[in-house]
């Protein structure tokens, strides 16, 4: 199965609302400490509330797990009504998937903007981003949830894979095929197996260690050194030939 947490949008991160000005319920708006006003909330208010609800939900899911978190808990923590949440997400499952999409936004956006001019370099950049994302505390918390609760909620796991894992894996395949066509890697390596092996080599050991509570690659320098070693190993395995720098005009 493809790694389910690989993933779009750089998260157009909206400024975080002032958390001293709760409650934030669009049915009775008190955004920014303002008194109740007539008319519909502005799009900016709605975006702020959307982002705030996702952040509250993410924190509770990571803290209590999927089964241990309810829509009622999230609504109480956010000082919002359950109707506010259900207007946006028809189920807890849909909210959980939205939380993951929000967390993986920068990866998903990077994939959407892939250029095939230098596919091997694009593959390198996205692989490095994936290592950084995988070791984020929020991402590790989501991985733990999928490991502990995924077998109880197969439809949840399937949605996560379809929404995130498959697009990420398909982007790897697309870049490998383009690299093969441009002679950047040897023929015969642009396949599912190579994509899975690359993902496992870049994130497998660090992720497993962190999930088991080990301290791994804490600093940016350590992560960069590990990545460069793994990437060099991958290039040797596929006969990688990075594009030569274009000559600069005199």
Domain definitions of the chain by residue range: 108-238
pLDDT band, residue 4 (cuts 50/70/90): low
How far apart are the C-alpha atoms of 41 and 56, rounded to whole Å? 21
What gap in Å lies between CA 136 and CA 103, rounded to an integer?
10
Instruction: Please tell me the predicted confidence (pLDDT) of residue 45.
Output: 66
The CA–CA distances, whole Å, from 149 to 16, 144, 155, 164 equal 30, 8, 11, 18
Cα–Cα distance list, 220 to 62, 131, 217, 225 (Å): 24, 11, 8, 9
Torsion angle of C-alpha atoms 197, 179, 132, 74, degrees rounded to 10: -90
- Tens-place pLDDT, residues 14-28: 344 443 333 333 333
What is the structure's pLDDT at 247? 53
Phi-psi region of 15 (alpha: psi -120 to 50; beta: other; left: phi over 0): beta
**pTM of the predicted structure, to 2 decimals:** 0.74
Q: Which of 11, 8, 14, 103 is CA-nearest to residue 52?
A: 14
The yes or no reply on domain 108-238 and CATH 1.20.1740 is no
* pLDDT digit string, tens, across residues 176-186: 999 999 999 99
Closest CA to 206 of 219, 191, 196: 219
Least confident residue range of 13-17, 61-65, 139-143: 13-17
- Mean pLDDT across 106-126: 90
């Amino acid at each position: 199965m493809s790694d389910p947490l690989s993933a779009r949008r750089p998260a157009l991160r909206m400024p975080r609302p002032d958390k001293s000005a709760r409650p934030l319920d669009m049915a009775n708006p008190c955004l920014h400490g303002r008194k109740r006003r007539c008319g519909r909330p502005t799009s900016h208010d709605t975006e702020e509330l959307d982002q705030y609800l996702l952040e509250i939900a993410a924190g509770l899911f990571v803290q209590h797990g999927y089964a241990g978190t309810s829509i009622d808990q999230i609504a109480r923590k956010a000082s919002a009504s359950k109707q506010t949440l259900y207007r946006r997400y028809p189920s807890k499952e849909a909210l959980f998937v939205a939380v993951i999409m929000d967390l993986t936004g920068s990866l998903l956006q990077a994939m959407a903007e892939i250029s095939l001019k230098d596919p091997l370099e694009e593959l390198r950049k996205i692989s490095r981003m994936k290592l950084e994302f995988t070791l984020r505390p929020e991402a590790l918390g989501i991985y733990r949830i999928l490991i502990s609760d995924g077998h109880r909620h197969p439809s949840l796991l399937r949605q996560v894979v379809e929404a995130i894992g498959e697009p990420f894996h398909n982007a790897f395949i697309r870049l490998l095929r383009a690299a093969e066509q441009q002679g950047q890697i040897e023929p015969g390596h642009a396949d599912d197996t190579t994509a899975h092996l690359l993902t496992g080599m870049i994130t497998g050991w660090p992720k497993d260690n962190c999930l088991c509570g080990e301290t791994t690659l804490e600093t940016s320098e350590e992560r960069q050194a590990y990545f460069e070693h793994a990437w060099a190993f991958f290039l040797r395995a596929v006969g990688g030939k990075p594009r030569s720098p274009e000559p600069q005009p005199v």
